[in-house]
Amino acid sequence: MNVQVIDRPAGASRDKSKLAIADCDIHPSPKSLPVEIYPFLSKRWQNHLETYGFIYRQGFPTGPAFQRGQPDAARRDAYPPNGGRPGSDLQYMREQHLDPNNVQLGILNPLRSGQGLQNADLAAAYCRAVNEWQVEEWTSKEVRLKASVMVNYEDAISSVAEIDHWAGNPNFAQILLLSRTAEPLGQRRYWPIYEAACRANLPIGVHAFGYGGTPVTGGGWPSYYIEEMVGHAENTQSLLTSMVFEGVFERFPNLKVILIEAGFAWLPALSWRLDKVWARNRSEIPHVTRPPSELIQAHIWLTTQPMEEPEPREHLRDIIEMIGWDRLLFATDYPHWDFDDPTRALPIQIDTATRERLFLNNALDLFSPRRTS
Amino acid sequence: MPKYVVASTMDIPPGARKLVEVRGRLIVIFNLNGEYFGLLNRCPHQGGSLCDGRLVGLIEAGSEPGEYSYSRAGEVVRCPWHGWEFDIRTGQSRCEPDRITSTQYQVAVETGEVVTNGPFFAETFDVSIEQEYVVIEV
Amino acid sequence: MRDTRSNDRVNDPEPDETLRSDADHLTTRRLPDSFALPINQPPTQPMKVPTAGAIDCDIHPSVPSIKALLPYMSDQWRDTIAQRGVHELETIAYPENAPLTARPDWRPVQGRPAADVATIQDQALEPFATSFAICNCLYGVQLLMGEDMAAAFAHAVNSWMVANFLDQDPRLRASIVIPTQDVNLAVAEIERRAEDQRFVSVLMLVMDENPLGRRVYWPIYAAAARYGLPICVHAGSAYKHPVTSVGWPSYYAEDYAAQAPAFHNLVSSLICEGVFAKFPDLKVVLAESGITWLPAHLWRLTKFWRGLRAEIPWVDKTPTEVAREHIRLTLQPVDAPADAKPLERIMDHFGSDDMVLFSTDYPHWQFDGDAALPDGMSVSLARKIMVENPKNTYPRLK
């Protein structure tokens, strides 16, 4: 058996007849902090950053704990010709991604945006700055793009203030958290964030990565980047488990959660496990009144990237059918190295209606209060 | 198979590469110390442009885990997207060389005189008999 | 990738497949005659495969109390344990009265479940008619902070296991409990026990102080490989770190749920850190992992490996292939819904019939009655799981 790849005829048009898509994970970067972010920060915090730098729950102030496979974890071909980091040039993003891939709706998920900074006041100020920056440099210039409300999720008070500040603003499509939190995301210190999200009628996106400080496995720190990368799925399973068993979805019945960039094929096995554990331990968690699989079905969406690639590829269809075609949101992760190309990432054949659902309409429905026309 | 003149050898010095289009196919020509190789500019995985990939060496296992052997600097191209590595000389992927390969094209160097006498196809080329040319079979 | 199943189907049609109309895409393989079906079974109905003769690869005798271990300790440790009032080493991984810890009908009126050989004979060996059962004792030796005390307890648990179980019933086998806190002491304990052929594997917990693939543990694997002992990695934690990568959870339910992600991490670790490159004959049995998570995890790991393999060049074939060769999983608990169809699909996703080993997980409450084999496994796969796979995994099981 050979590795199965969908063959596209050489030289075939890459964009003319393409279906429009929603890309639920695009990473914009500032060209530089002084030029694009400092204008939204007070002098105090500008001086603070110049003096003390970025202090997270990890040893390196700028680089990651695990050295990545590519610089900036970026596609090598995503560096703007005029300089700057990948994802820092709107015009180049249009030329390389939004136009040729016919992106109708793109959700911006800025990383390194103040989240996880140990200094809570700085983190809140930085999140606000990044939110202002997203509007100034991106969504006000490109109607296809929608921003995420960045919040310092380790501090619920400032997070709620930030959500309330942007509630109703049509530039924002979701609230963004990172997955590696200080404590499991179901715990009550985070509940005010969910309450504010429901009030603002915004879904919560949880993107893989972050700075929780605990080892990236329950058994300690691995040696290699590949183990950390793969482990984001396990990390996301743990936060989902926490949200289910803490009763978050009972308490916030309108809450919608999007799990971003953590894969999705693990979800059926996890749902089945949680159902069994729930059934066996009802007396411990009586606040969970429905089987976890039902709660997950009602409250959880997942982005598709990085798309699992089983062999034979048809096994992926089994998994998606178990999850439900309406629960997956297509995402490319542009401009990062594990980018999924919308024309080739889904390794199985599907009919046009299903394709439109997966690649576009699921996202439009989810973000419909802010639906682009 | 018809042969196409795609570049002067001076256009692709050692260590360099050039993207050419032949009969609708985008092909990247590499020069490894005077030897020329052509690969379809489309990663067999998701179609990343191999021309934009970094040239790296071959990292293989040493005698046991923790030991690395490094050889053939610059003879492997990494897809700019997902990092799949391809041997420029053979088109074989490093991860699964027997199963995953990048389409390879035969590349030769011909003198301007030979090229002028043909039969070769050249789409946008002025050929000078003093020079050498990279010729590809498609 | 060689698709052995389809080859077998062509060459070796298995008449028993007709017993389950929905099983034909699963495994087919000729089975020993001793596992022929009772002929009076209605041939078109789903049926329970009898477990008679099966090898139960995961049962859990309980240490009845710390007192039971004292006879197997030195005078110094006996005195120390009394002097310091050392507590029982039962752990939060299986709270004594939590429903999962012991099935209601396997729970004694007094004391710990499965704490003596007669109970195990009555509840585990006879009802399932197993030919062998492997005892994995989950006393909290690995949780201790001190290396020397851990070594003393490991030694005592193993000696207690010999005297109270292995010497009492010829069907019982055991895994060697080791003090992973100190690799040299762990190797010494393996060497002490290896001569006793009734110790068939080496026991570790899925969450230790370090990921188990790391080189600090390799002397353990070298010793295991030397003696033909697979490593049995069981659910559980040394609790040196939070059980999730996002911190300590609130509920026991989360702790138990977290075991499956921990096994994901373990598989990544063993493969990526090069354990199987270094020890090509080593097999690792994942006990009480939930099993259905494995295929999707290998898809993800293999996908990343294709781009990142230069970081770990000793992994020179797909992680999926490495796992099929080296990783085995005990059956219970089966994380699957009551409907058999999804499990059938997942078993197909394994791409191998060789990986799952029968277990009851006795006395943990994973199923009721004698339903140790879940619906959704074909008759032929069920039989392979029960005998052939365990025998191929544990060289000492003859």
Q: In this predicted structure, what is the pLDDT of residue C94?
A: 97
Place of tokens 């139960």: C56
A347 vs B contacts (CB less than 8 Å): none
How many domains is chain A partitioned into structurally? 1
Phi, psi of A204 (to 5 degrees): -100, 120
pLDDT at A131 over 70: yes
**Residue B118 confidence (pLDDT):** 72
What pLDDT does A369 receive?
Answer: 55
Which chain C residue is nearest to residue B64, measuring alpha carbons?
A: C278
pLDDT digits (tens, 9 = 90+) for C264-277: 999 999 999 999 99
pLDDT of residue C8: 33
The residue assigned the tokens 């188990």 is C212
Classify residue C285: in a domain, yes or no. yes
CA proximity to C291, closest of C268, C263, C270:
C263
Distance in angstroms between the alpha carbons of the first and the last residue of chain C? 31
The confidence score (pLDDT) of residue B124 equals 61
Which domain range does residue A105 map to? 21-368
- The mean pLDDT value for A13-20 works out to 64
Kind of pairing between the strands at B107-111 and B104-105: unpaired
With bands split at pLDDT 50, 70 and 90, how would you rate the model's confidence at B3? confident
Task: For residues C353-360, give the mean pLDDT.
Answer: 98
The reply to whether residue B99 touches residue A2, judged by beta carbons under 8 angstroms, is yes
Complex ipTM: 0.94
User: What would the pLDDT profile of C289-307 be if each residue is shown by its tens digit?
Assistant: 999 999 999 999 999 999 9
The whole-number pLDDT of residue C23 equals 33
Q: Which amino acid is at A9?
A: P
Q: Report whether A105 contacts A23 (CB < 8 A).
A: yes
For residue range C217-229, list pLDDT tens digits in order. 999 999 999 999 9
Mean predicted confidence (pLDDT) in C25-42: 36
Phi and psi torsions of A49, nearest 5°: -65, -40
Q: Stretch C106-123: mean pLDDT, rounded?
A: 97
Please, which pLDDT band fits residue C44 given cuts at 50, 70 and 90?
very low
Contact between A99 and A93 under an 8 Å Cβ cutoff? The reply is no
CA-nearest of C25, C9, C315 to A315 is C25
Write the CATH number of the domain with boundaries B3-137.
2.102.10.10
Buried-state track A46-60, b at ≥16 Cβ within 10 A, e below 16? bebbeeeebebbbee
Q: Could you give the C-alpha distances from A22 to A99, A329, A331, A350, C85, in angstroms and in order?
A: 12, 8, 7, 17, 63
Tell me: pLDDT of A7 over 50.
no
Q: In the structure, what pLDDT confidence band is assigned to residue A12 with cuts at 50, 70 and 90?
A: very low
The residue in chain B having the minimum alpha-carbon distance to the alpha carbon of residue A223 is B66
On chain C, the residues whose CB falls within 8 A of the CB of B59 are 310, 313
Sole residue written with tokens 């970067």? A29
Answer yes or no: is pLDDT of C35 > 70: no
* Residues belonging to chain B with any Cβ–Cβ distance to chain A shorter than 8 Å: 24-26, 40, 42, 44-49, 52-54, 78, 80-83, 96, 99-100
Report if residue C299 sits inside a domain: yes
When divided into structural domains, chain C yields a total of: 1
pLDDT at B121: 74
The yes-or-no verdict on residue C367 having pLDDT over 60 is yes
Average pLDDT over residues B7-24: 94
pLDDT digit string, tens, across residues A21-78: 999 999 999 999 999 999 999 999 999 999 999 999 999 998 899 999 999 899 999 9
Instruction: Please report the pLDDT score of residue C30 as a whole number.
Output: 34
Q: For position B62, what pLDDT does the model report?
A: 95
C369, burial (CB in 10 Å: exposed 0-12, middle 13-18, buried 19+) = exposed
C300-356 tens-digit pLDDT: 999 999 999 999 999 999 999 999 999 999 999 999 999 999 999 999 999 999 999
Greater pLDDT, C79 or C12: C79
Contact C277, C313 (CB under 8 A): no
Alpha-carbon dihedral angle through residues B37, B39, B45, B47, given to the nearest 10 degrees: 140
Q: Say if residue C19's pLDDT is above 70.
A: no
CA distance C250 to chain A (A): 8
pLDDT of residue C170: 98
* Average pLDDT of the residues of chain A: 93
Domain that holds residue C285: 51-393
DSSP string, C224-248: HHHTT--EEEEEEE--SS-SBTTB-
What does the pLDDT read at residue C376?
A: 81
Q: What is the pLDDT of residue A62?
A: 85
Checking DSSP bridges between strand B68-78 and strand B85-87, what pairing results, if any?
antiparallel
Mean pLDDT over B9-15 rounds to 94
Short-list C21, C24, C27, CA closest to C8: C27
Structure confidence at residue B107 as a pLDDT band (50, 70, 90): very high
Smallest CA–CA distance, residue C371 to chain A, in Å, is: 15
Higher pLDDT, A264 or C42: A264
Q: What's the pLDDT band for B113 if we cut at 50, 70, 90? A: confident
The confidence band for A343, taking pLDDT boundaries of 50, 70 and 90, is: very high
A172 contacts A202 by C-beta, under 8 angstroms: yes
Based on C-alpha coordinates, what's the Rg of chain C?
21
Listed in sequence order, the residues at least 6 apart from A243 whose beta carbon sits closer than 8 Å to its beta carbon are A185, A186, A249, A257
Q: At what angle do helices C319-326 and C294-308 cross, to 10 degrees?
A: 130
Q: Is A54 a member of any domain?
A: yes
Any residues with CB less than 8 A from the CB of C53 and at least 6 apart, and which?
C34, C35, C129, C130, C131, C386, C387
More confident residue, B29 or B116: B29
Could you tell me if B94 lies within 8 Å of chain C, comparing CB atoms?
yes
- Rounded Cα–Cα distance for residues A10 and A240 (Å): 42
Length of chain C: 398
Nearest chain B residue to C275 by CA distance is B65
Task: State yes or no: pLDDT of A330 exceeds 90.
Answer: yes
Mean pLDDT of A323-343: 97
Which chain B residue has the Cα nearest residue C319?
Answer: B95
Residue C237 belongs to some domain of the structure: yes
- CATH number, domain with residue A236: 3.20.20.140
Average pLDDT estimate for A210-229: 96
Tokens matching residue A52: 């003390």
pLDDT at A153 over 80: yes
Chain B residues with CB under 8 Å of A10 CB are: 24-26, 40, 42
Alpha-carbon gap, residue C134 to C172, rounded angstroms: 6
pLDDT bin (cut points 50, 70, 90) of residue C113 is very high
- The residues near C190 (Cβ < 8 Å, ≥ 6 apart) are C176, C178, C202, C220, C223, C224, C227, C229
Question: What band does A17 get if pLDDT is binned at 50, 70 and 90?
Answer: low
Residue A292 lies in a domain: yes
- How far C195 CA sits from the closest chain A CA (Å)? 31
Q: Which two tokens stand for residue C265?
A: 């991490």
C280 touches chain B (CB under 8 A): no
Chains that touch C (3 or more CB pairs under 8 A): A, B
Indicate the burial class of C127 (C-beta count within 10 angstroms; 0-12, 13-18, 19 or more): middle
Parallel/antiparallel/unpaired status of strands B104-105 and B35-40: antiparallel
CATH number at residue C171: 3.20.20.140
Residues of C in contact with A220 (CB under 8 A): 207-211, 214, 240-241
Q: Is residue C324 part of a domain?
A: yes
A98 in a structural domain: yes
Of how many residues is chain A composed?
A: 373
Q: Among residues A135, A171, A170, A128, which one has the least CA distance to residue A150? A: A128
Which of the listed ranges B104-118, C43-57, C379-393 does the model predict with the highest average pLDDT?
Answer: C379-393
pLDDT in tens, C222-257: 999 999 999 999 999 999 999 999 999 999 999 999
Q: Do A202 and A194 contact (CB within 8 A), yes or no?
A: no
Mean pLDDT of chain B, nearest integer:
92
State how far the Cα of C195 lies from the Cα of C228, in Å rounded to an integer. Answer: 11
- Strand arrangement, sheet containing B104-105: B17-22, B25-32, B35-40, B104-105
Q: What is the pLDDT of residue C252?
A: 98
Residue A85 has pLDDT above 70, yes or no: yes
DSSP state for residue B93 in the 8-state scheme: B
**Which residue shows structure tokens 């394994």?**
C350
Contact A202, A149 (CB under 8 A): yes
pLDDT on residue C32: 35
**What b-and-e string marks burial along A104-118, b requiring 16 or more CB atoms within 10 Å of the CB?**
bbbbbbbbbbbbbbe
Q: Using a CB cutoff of 8 Å and minimum separation of 24, what contacts does A189-195 make?
A: A189/A156, A190/A153, A190/A156, A191/A156, A191/A248, A191/A251, A191/A252, A192/A156, A192/A157, A192/A159, A192/A160, A193/A151, A193/A153, A193/A156, A193/A159, A193/A160, A193/A163, A194/A248, A194/A251, A194/A252, A194/A255, A195/A160, A195/A252
> Given a cut of 70, is residue C33 above it in pLDDT?
no
Instruction: List the one residue out of A298, A184, A302 whose CA is nearest residue A250.
Output: A298
3-class secondary structure, A104: strand
Does residue C278 sit within a domain? yes
